[in-house]
Amino acid sequence: MLYFHLNYFSLYSFEYSIMKKVIIIGNGISGITAARWIRKLSNFEILVISDESEYFFSRTALMYVSMGHMNWRDIEPYERTFWKKNRIDLLQQKVKEINHLEKTITLHNAQTLAYDELIIATGSKINYFNWPGQNAKGVFGLYHKQDLEYINSLPKDNLRIAIVGGGLIGVELAEMMVVQGRKVSMIIRENSYWRNVLPKEESELITAHLREHHIDLNFGKSLAEILSNEKQEVRGIKLLSEEIIDCNYVGICTGVSPNIEWLEQSELKRNKGILVDQFLQTNLPNIYAIGDCAELISPDKNRKSIEAVWYTGRMMGETVAQTICVTKTEYKPGIWFNSAKFFDIEYQVYGIVPSEINYPLDSKIWIHPQEKKSVRIVFQADTKIVVGFNLIGIRFRHEICDQWIASNATLEFVTQNLHLALFDGEFSHSLKRMIQ
């Protein structure tokens, strides 16, 4: 009798799963991870909608396509047959509105689609701050597939670009332009590169590296206006200091914010992003938000409410799939981590590393005397418990850094065991000597 009931339940679940339809708006890492895991966990009908591109691509690899290191198909992680094989339907369209009472969405072509569960994963948009002239021909960003297509269409000769902003996207765009032989000026509000994120020593190290690549760095400056000619083409920029910088293209790299403007008429609760609880649920039933567009109402300690990072989007996608298909699952991102490259210099950060390190925190830093390498260990001043690592030009093992921070390892323990974290053991003895 027990055997019969188990089989009856399995049959019921299978039939119900076929009937259930999940619509995912957005085909970035968050939305596609959700789709893949929903398929692994269920037989639900899955539809992914995106107006940016037909197929999922690796956004972080856009620069390598522009520089000729990769082709477009190289940055599509899955073969185009993958979607049909895994019964994930794709629709290249734009969503206009959501009717949560009817459980439907309306597309810009007036088509209406019904859902049982809706996942919003619309990502970010580039920040524009209503500068005069920002709509001139030659103003662009680096985020979407269409941005890459525009960059690839730029003339090869006599091109000078002014990049407004100095974060990770700004340095990627600078590298793309420099590799192609173009002259680059960067307009940065801080007094050294990414100083609002990097501590002083690391910021100065990267600043020197950018100058070695012949980038014209304009620190402590802000954009006032984009100048154009009679054809509405960019001819330069004007700074708040009244300085004029000649250029014929302007790259806007002043950060990103959640792409939620299309929800203005919606009853979804929003702040900077779509507000979600620890299960990534919105205030409306059967509607979830994940990735860059989601804002956690109660983020974990030492985590931000919005984190526009690839791996957090992936984690959110898997978490929401578990909730929809198996059991309600909390989003637990764990210890903060990020990585990037400044031209040929790698950067990693784990845990808590403020740009200004003051009591109750303290830090020790080791800087290589000849090469552009540094290691900073951040710890609690009183207990000497390690809370973060900042690495320039050196890679540490992710699992080791995670383990040390999670287990409240002390500075003494970490320095005695640095060889466990290093990929390159050559530096372990000098690091230990300098940090102690």
pLDDT category, 243, cuts 50, 70, 90?
Answer: very high
Dihedral sign (CA 303, 304, 308, 312): positive
CA distances from 164 to 142, 170, 415 (A): 12, 7, 40
- Measured CA angle at 201 (ends 200, 204), to 5 deg: 85
Confidence class for position 157, pLDDT limits 50, 70, 90? confident
The residue to which tokens 């297509």 are assigned: 149
Q: What pLDDT, on a 0 to 100 scale, did the predictor assign at position 9? A: 39
Q: What is the pLDDT of residues 422-431, one digit of tens each?
A: 886 555 556 6
Q: Give the separation between CA 205 and CA 201, rounded to whole angstroms.
A: 6
Sheet architecture: strand order including 183-188: 139-140, 249-252, 160-164, 183-188, 216-219
How much helix, strand and coil, in percent to the nearest 5, is found in the chain? 30, 30, 40
pLDDT greater than 60 at residue 55: yes
Domains and CATH numbers, the chain: 2-124+257-325 (3.50.50.60), 139-254 (3.50.50.60), 337-435 (3.30.390.30)
Q: Please check whether residue 76 is in contact with residue 56, taking contact to mean a CB–CB distance below 8 angstroms.
A: yes
Q: CA torsion 355→192→343→213, rounded to 10°? A: -160
pLDDT attached to residue 423:
80
In order, the DSSP letters of 324-357 are HHTS-------S-EEEEEETTEEEEEEE---SS-
**Across 79-107, average pLDDT:** 97
Per residue in 398-431, pLDDT (tens digit) is 999 999 999 999 999 999 999 899 886 555 556 6
Separation CA 360–CA 364 (nearest Å) = 14
Sign of the torsion formed by the C-alpha atoms of 240, 245, 248 and 254: negative
Q: How many CA atoms lie within 13 A of 192 on its CB side?
A: 15
Classify residue 133 by its DSSP letter: T
Of 141, 113, 87, 109, nearest in space to 25 by CA: 113
| Euclidean distance between CA atoms 213 and 79, whole angstroms | 37
CA angle at 77 for the pair 173 and 98, rounded to the nearest 5°? 85
> Is the sign of the CA dihedral 153, 156, 161, 164 positive or negative?
positive
pLDDT of residue 18: 55
Distance in angstroms (rounded) separating the CA atoms of residues 301 and 279: 16
Predicted local distance difference test score (pLDDT) of residue 156: 82
Q: How far apart are CA 395 and CA 306, in angstroms?
A: 26
Phi and psi angles of residue 244, each rounded to the nearest 5 degrees, phi first: -115, 130
Q: Give the C-alpha separation, 69 to 334, whole Å.
A: 34
Structure tokens that stand for 27 in this block: 């085909």
Can you give the pLDDT at residue 259? Answer: 97
Which of 309, 356, 359 has its CA nearest to residue 334? Answer: 309
Cβ-Cβ contacts under 8 Å for 122 (sequence gap 6 or more): 25, 26, 258, 259, 260, 262, 291, 292, 293
In this predicted structure, the answer to whether residue 8 has a pLDDT above a threshold of 60 is: no
Considering only CA atoms, which of 299, 216, 294, 301 is closest in space to residue 260?
Answer: 294
For residue 302, give Cα distances in angstroms to 96, 169, 240, 387. 36, 24, 35, 10
Residue 433: the pLDDT is: 61
Q: What is the pLDDT of residue 112?
A: 98
Least confident interval from 11-20, 75-84, 86-95, 288-297: 11-20
> Is the per-residue pLDDT at 5 higher than 90?
no
Give CA–CA dist 107/9, Å, rounded: 37
End-to-end CA distance of the chain: 68
240, two tokens: 């708040």
Helices (H) and strands (E) in the chain, counts: 11, 25
Which pLDDT band holds residue 13 (cuts at 50, 70, 90)?
Answer: very low
Predicted confidence band of residue 432 (pLDDT cuts 50, 70, 90): low
Looking up tokens 């590169």 gives: 193
Average pLDDT, the chain: 93
Q: Among the listed ranges 6-10, 161-165, 248-252, which one has the minimum average pLDDT value? A: 6-10
* DSSP class of 60: G
Structure tokens at 132: 């005069």
What pLDDT is attached to residue 312?
97
Overall residue count recorded for the chain in this entry? 436
Picking from 23, 29, 26, the residue whose alpha carbon sits closest to that of residue 307 is 29
Query: Where is 119: in which H helix or E strand?
Result: strand 117-120
pLDDT at 17: 47
CA distances from 163 to 169, 197, 222, 289, 418 (A): 10, 19, 11, 32, 39
The pLDDT of 235-259, averaged and rounded, is 97
pLDDT, residue 158, reads 83
Residue 377 pLDDT greater than 70, yes or no: yes
pLDDT score of 292 more than 80: yes
> For residue 10, is pLDDT > 60?
no
